[in-house]
Structure 1
């Protein structure tokens, strides 16, 4: 363990065995300190939406396909002009130093090792440049929590572009923080400095509570902000936190180059729908105008398959990767991706789908039990 400001960080760098991704949570809880673990795992209020994110995948089923005459499914894909070896990507997840001393740098290494795509968070423990450098040329996106201070936004966007990120993810569903009771019970404040927050005059983000961090964030995010960021960076802007067809079209009309369907893993608006339950209606409204990224509740290869078959082009997850990071560093992250990719290969074979494009054309069943 590495001790920073009284907080114990894992420094494990080792291969890990995985039975399933759900089992990693309990193992990680034994390593990550209580306050940090509560922040990572928790949802808002009574966590109804967080739970429904998992349940929703049972609302649709995959028809097995016999005599398909195919083998060796191919997980490779190309999204936003980026060739990838897997359709599963790392969601932008804050403060990964809570799980491991190397934080986002080890995550970047693990994702790069599987030929995947990583999204950095504004609230990362490591800087944009250091996280990008750790990936050694592998593709990354940068996720922006807009600040009320536009000059601060510009400085982050400048750094992201200099680091070579391929797109900007603008998060729009976190203008205030969800009411997360675990953080209140634990009186949680970030013990690890947030590298990008050193630009705030108050300091480095260390010791700040959740509400204090969000107090600096912009609440009045408007459609014109999408175009403003796109014009400033000359990069694709993906709008994250979309849960309705109407908001998807509004974002595209504002210049969005991608739609990110997400309810923030159940961490924001409790009582809102499971992301998977709204994915297909949003996909139909988007109608192929721009790529769609999906997250919230993904734990199985079959979840990935169902999301792709319901309109997603990329499927993201966060918490299982953070658990793998705590348990094994970069090798743990790689193991998490390898495992879900292996599950996806099995599902693709049994469903008679050779390629990711075949998966996207699959018709899921709606059978009520």
Structure 2
């Protein structure tokens, strides 16, 4: 363990054995301090929506297909002209130093080794530059939480673009955090600095502190903000937090280059639908015009299959990768993506699908 500001951080770096992703949560609970673990694992209120994210997958079944001459299915795919080995990517998650002393840098290293895409949060404990360096040329996205201070937004976007971000993920469902009881019960405060916020505070010349920047988070986000970010940064902008087809249409009409279907892992609006519940209708509204990314509740290869067959182009995971980060650092993260892709490949073959495009055309049974 490494102790920073009185907070114990894992410094493990080892391969981990995975039987299933659910078991990682209890294993990580033994390593991550209570406050940090509560922040990572929690949903909002009584966590009904967090639970629904998992239950929603059980509303459909995969139709087994045989006699289709399928052997060694390929999980490779591409997005925005970038080829990746698996349709499973890393969702942006904040403050990964709560799980491991190397934080986002270790996650980026593990994700790159697995041949897929890292997403770096504005509120990372590792800087954009450090995460980009750890990616070693592999593709990565930068996730922006907008501030009312446009100079701060510009500084982050400039930094991300200069270090090779392939796209910007604009999160629009987190103008404020959901009511999360573990944080209240644990009286949790972030024990580690947010590297990107700290860097801006030090270099802006305005003397702003981190808490001032937090307080300046933009509450009202509209289509005009999507367009402003897209026009400024000159990279594909993926709007994350879409849960309604009408909002997908608004985002597309405002210049979005991608739609990210997500309810933030059940951390925001409790009582809302599971992310998988709304995926098909949003995918129909998008109608192939831009890539659709999906997250929230994914733990099995069969769930990756169901999401792709319901209209997603990519599927993102968050918590399982962070638990693996605590358990094994970069090697642990790599193992999670390789394991989930292995499960997905098995399902592909049993469902008679040779490629990811075949999966997208696969039949699901509804009941």
* Residue 245 of structure 1: aligned partner: 245
Distance in 2 separating the partners of 1:173 and 1:106:
27
For the 8 Å contact 1:175–1:214, the answer to whether it is kept is: no
SS at match of 1:345: helix
Point out where structure 2 has 5 or more consecutive residues left out of the alignment.
Answer: 202-206
Does residue 1:268 correspond to 2:268, yes or no?
yes
How many residues get paired? 361
Distance in 1 separating the partners of 2:80 and 2:193:
32
Distance in 1 separating the partners of 2:93 and 2:245:
25
For the 8 Å contact 2:147–2:213, the answer to whether it is kept is: no
Distance in 2 separating the partners of 1:339 and 1:202:
43
Does residue 1:224 correspond to 2:230, yes or no?
no
Distance in 1 separating the partners of 2:290 and 2:249:
10
* Residue 310 of structure 1: aligned partner: 310
* Residue 114 of structure 2: aligned partner: 114
Instruction: Please list the CA deviations of residues 161-211 of structure 1 after superposition, one character each: whole Å capped at 9, or x if unmatched.
Output: 0010011000000011111010000000000111011124453x5xx6xxx
* Residue 147 of structure 2: aligned partner: 147
Distance in 2 separating the partners of 1:256 and 1:150:
19
Does residue 1:60 correspond to 2:55, yes or no?
no
- Between 192-201 and 100-109, the greater mean CA deviation after superposition: 192-201
* Residue 344 of structure 2: aligned partner: 344
Distance in 1 separating the partners of 2:216 and 2:58:
39
For the aligned residues, what is the CA RMSD? 1.0
Distance in 2 separating the partners of 1:48 and 1:316:
21
For the 8 Å contact 1:176–1:214, the answer to whether it is kept is: no
Does residue 1:95 correspond to 2:101, yes or no?
no
Distance in 2 separating the partners of 1:215 and 1:319:
26
Instruction: Please list the CA deviations of residues 133-186 of structure 1 after superposition, one character each: whole Å capped at 9, or x if unmatched.
Output: 001000000000001100000000000000100110000000111110100000
* Residue 360 of structure 1: aligned partner: 360
Instruction: Please list the CA deviations of residues 214-266 of structure 1 after superposition, one character each: whole Å capped at 9, or x if unmatched.
Output: 53210011101111111111101100000000000000000000000000000
Give runs of aligned pairs for residues 1-369 of structure 1, distance below 5 A.
Answer: 1-198=1-198, 199-200=200-201, 201-203=207-209, 205=210, 214-367=214-367
For the 8 Å contact 1:306–1:364, the answer to whether it is kept is: yes
- Offset, 1:79: 1.1
Using structure 1 for the length normalisation, give the TM-score. 0.96
Distance in 2 separating the partners of 1:44 and 1:196:
26
